[in-house]
Copies of this chain bind each other. A is one copy, B any other.
Amino acid sequence: METVAIVGVGLIGASFGLALRKAGFSGEILGVSSRSATQAAREVGAISRAASLDEAAAQADLLYLSQPVDRILTTISDLAPLLRPGTLVTDAGSTKVSVTRRAAEFLSPGAFLGGHPMAGKETSGAAAADANLFQDRLYLLTPSGKEGEHAAEFRQWLRRIGAIVREIDAEEHDRTVAFTSHLPQLLSTVLAATLQAQDNQNLQTIHGPGLLDVTRLALSPADLWSSILSENRQHVILALDAYIERLIQARAAVQSGEIQSLFAAGKMFASDLRNKSC
């Protein structure tokens, strides 16, 4: 794998470039994105130079698509007529069913390996990129069967950048992250929006550290989440409904004063989560 092209050099894409460099990758890293984004990525050392998608498809052994999910879908279609045999396309999209379907439809078998690094920050853009972003974080792959030489090499690089690689079915992925990522994002945003709507200045100063924890995700960029929630709408609605049902039960428990079993269940999950997290 001599040349890598990163399509979309925001936080994840630029961090992948920095992580590759830190792990010893000495080939060229092309960046495909807007002029301002590639300039920022070049300034932090995440890419060697900017390139068009055509150039990237003609030169790279690995195309790393780290755009919002809706744009990844478009890029896959756009890439189809440009790809050389043997080039590997992978993505870092937050949903996997629609992406792997699009790849199966447009790309030849073995040309695509879906991925999702379970890493991130509430900040965005190449300026926030971090060579250690993937260190000790889960990196999910949704293999479709046949894999070529570059796939094996890509998996090696994931391990070299410190990621914990695990395989998962695309449908199971989307169902799971609806609960563990998309639901927490919505709850955090809805809490912050609820407090914003109260028009009470005290709410911003009279609080403990817990409010900062629970509202951190509300800093996330809306455009990114717009496409994630659209692509995973069905699972997100199911997760929201499960939560709303339990929240209404919790309201009744507050009314009756019987909150023990609710808190016991919550504490059990939160404790297990910390014991089993990687």
Contact = CB atoms under 8 A, between A and B. Distances in A.
Interface string A257-275: 1011011111111111110
B181 A262 contact: no
A80 interface: no
Interface residues of A, number: 91
A58 interface: no
A259 B229 contact: yes
Contacts of A242: 194, 197-198
B257 A209 contact: no
A269 B193 contact: yes
Contacts of A82: none
A152 interface: no
A46 to B, nearest CB: 21
Interface string A220-239: 10100110011001001101
B265 A192 contact: yes
A250 B181 CA distance: 16
Contact of A246 (B119, B177, B193): B193
A190 B237 contact: no
A138 interface: yes
Given A187-B187, A240-B254, A250-B186, A267 B210 contact: no
Interface string A168-204: 1000110011011101111111111111111010111
A140 interface: yes
A100 to B, nearest CB: 16
B196 A269 contact: yes
Contacts of A250: 186, 189-190, 193, 240
A84 interface: no
Interface in A123-164: 137-138, 140
A-B interface, 4 closest residue pairs, ranked by CB to CB distance from nearest: A222-B263, A180-B207, A189-B266, A192-B266
